[in-house]
Amino acid sequence: MTAKKEPTYDEAQIAERLRDLEGWSYAGGVIQRVFKTDGFPRTLMLVNAIGYFAEAADHHPDMLVKWGSVAVALSTHSAGGITDKDFALAHRIQDLART
Ligand code: H2B
C-alpha cells in the first residue's frame, strides 16, 4: 500500500488557521501550546485523555509533562509539515482541556 502524502500548509496558512485556536503558536515546524493544570494528578489525567484521542486518530503529539503543565506539539511526520490532522487534533485537545 502506498500512503499518499498529506498536503501541508505554508506559514501564512498556518497563521490563519491558528486564529481559530486559543494560545497555540507555530515555531520550529510544530504547532504548540502549553496547558496549565493545578498539579500532577490532573496533568496526568490530561496527558492520558490526549493520548486516548491521539490513538483514536492515529496521530500522536509530542508531550512535555511537568508538575503543573503539559506542553503539546503537533506536526505530521509523514508529510514533513503541518496538515489538517494537526489542526483537527489541536481542536479536540483544546475542547478537552476546556472541560
Ligand atoms: N503522528 C504524527 N504526529 N505524525 C505522523 O506522521 C504519524 C503519527 N504517523 N502517528 C502515524 C502514527 C504512523 O506512523 C502510523 C503507522 O499510522
Pocket lining: 1 vs ligand 1, CB cutoff 6 Å: no
88 in Cβ contact with 14 (< 8 Å) = no
| Ligand 1 center–CA 55 separation, angstroms | 10
Residue 5 covered by a domain: no
Distance CA 51, CA 34 (A): 16
pLDDT in tens, 57-96: 999 999 999 999 999 999 999 999 999 999 999 999 999 9
Q: What is the three-class DSSP state of 71? A: strand
Residue 21 per-residue DSSP state: S
Question: Into how many domains does the chain fold?
Answer: 1
CATH code assigned at 41: 3.30.1360.20
83 lines ligand 1 (CB under 6 A): no
Residue-wise pLDDT for 1-55, tens only, equals 566 789 999 999 999 999 999 999 999 999 999 999 999 999 999 999 999 999 9
CA distance 86 to 31: 8
Residue 54, pLDDT score: 97
Q: Give the residue, by CA position, lying nearest to ligand 1 atom 7.
A: 59
Nearest-angstrom CA–CA distance, 60 and 66: 18
Residue 39: which domain range? Answer: 11-98
Query: What's residue 99's pLDDT?
Result: 63
Q: Cβ(3) to ligand 1 under 6 A?
A: no
What is the pLDDT, as a whole number, of residue 1? 56
Kindly indicate the confidence band of residue 97, based on its pLDDT and cuts at 50, 70 and 90: confident
Number of neighbouring beta carbons within 10 Å of residue 85: 17
> Quick check: is 3 in a domain?
no
On whether residue 1 sits in a domain, the answer given is: no
Q: Phi and psi dihedrals of 43, rounded to 5?
A: -60, -45
Residue 2 falls within a domain, yes or no? no
